[in-house]
Structure 1
Amino acid sequence: MKGSGRNQDLTLSQQLLFLKANPAIGGGGTVRANKLTWQVPIQPTALARSYLATVTYRPGQMPDVQIDDPDLELLADGRPLPHVYRDPLRLCLYLPRTREWEARKRIDQTVIPWTYLWLYYFEDWLWSDDWKGEGRHPADEPEHVGSRALRRAVVRS
């Protein structure tokens, strides 16, 4: 494990063991070629459809979540999907560089519950056309302005 003390990064094998041992998490996965892959069926509410999600994680990167089934774009019926990354299509679950996700955190206690929550809001959005999940998408951030005073002036205008 990298780091020291209580803030050590979890290894891929540790992440896999936590996923397997968590009674609230279904699915299954493997660690191969320095990559963790976990497939999990998710039904965000009793009345919602079931989704098949795949979490992939490599050390030094952020975990990615893709929905394998059903096709989110088909469900959106031509509307642009909220809070996703493209190429390939992945869920936007947290803001990078905010420490919401760190390699010392457990995927079963962070990324998987965030996926349930994202799909809950997605189901609501399909019906209402209003994303109630809040959050900010990195593409929505204003361009970086050099000086702090100038940044404040831009935000106020």
Structure 2
Amino acid sequence: MSTADRWVSLALQAFDLRALLPTAQSRIRHQTSTLTSVFELQPATASCRYTVHLRYRLGWRPEVRVIDPALCTREGVDRIPHTFDNDLLCLHLDDEWRPTMRLADTIVPWASEWLFYYELWLTTGAWHGGGHGEQPQVTAESFHS
């Protein structure tokens, strides 16, 4: 197995997260091979600061959710785009992330980008972040918000 094919250890993932986000609070549970981390993201200077919870079980898809402030929908909309039923953020397609990748280089910037597009969606009503082959839905309301 080449170095590029090896899964990144939980310890190295936690180290990388702390190097990128010095205030990140991470914990490894060896019994379940799980890393959890709580950190703040601010996608743009004028953006809100979000407290984010990341849970990664070695070899599984990382789970990311915003814990503060609570995400909200637009009036008349039942669901936030690109989220799963359990409030997890949809950050990538199934084949775009692998356990050989570093969370700090992929999941964290993708979460920040998702938050940027979330804020834009709150303002315009159009999701400009792409994903799932979708085109942004621009409506007349998008131009009057």
Provide the TM-score with structure 1 as the length reference: 0.76
Residue 102 of structure 2: aligned partner:
106
Which sits farther off after the overlay, 105-114 or 42-51? 42-51
In the TM superposition, residue 18 of structure 1 has moved relative to its aligned partner by 1.4
SS at match of 1:65: strand
Partners of 2:38 and 2:27 in 1: how far apart? 9
Structure 1 residues 78, 51: closer, same or farther in 2, change over 3 A? Answer: farther
Partners of 1:47 and 1:134 in 2: how far apart? 22
Q: Counterpart amino acid of 1:129?
A: G
CA contact under 8 A between 2:74 and 2:125: conserved in structure 1? no
Partners of 1:77 and 1:15 in 2: how far apart? 38
In the TM superposition, residue 78 of structure 1 has moved relative to its aligned partner by 5.2
Residue 133 of structure 1: aligned partner:
129
The correspondence of residues 62-141 of structure 1 with structure 2, limited to 5 A, is 62-73=61-72, 76-77=74-75, 79=77, 80-86=79-85, 88-96=86-94, 98=95, 100-136=96-132
> What per-residue deviation string (whole Å, max 9, x for no partner) do you get for residues 4-27 of structure 1?
2122111111111111223x5642
**Stretches of structure 1 lacking an aligned partner (at least 5 in a row):** 141-157
The answer to whether residue 27 in structure 2 is matched with residue 30 in structure 1 is yes
CA contact under 8 A between 2:42 and 2:50: conserved in structure 1? yes
Percent of residue pairs bearing the same amino acid type: 31
**Stretches of structure 2 lacking an aligned partner (at least 5 in a row):** 135-145
In the TM superposition, residue 59 of structure 1 has moved relative to its aligned partner by 1.4
Larger radius of gyration: 1
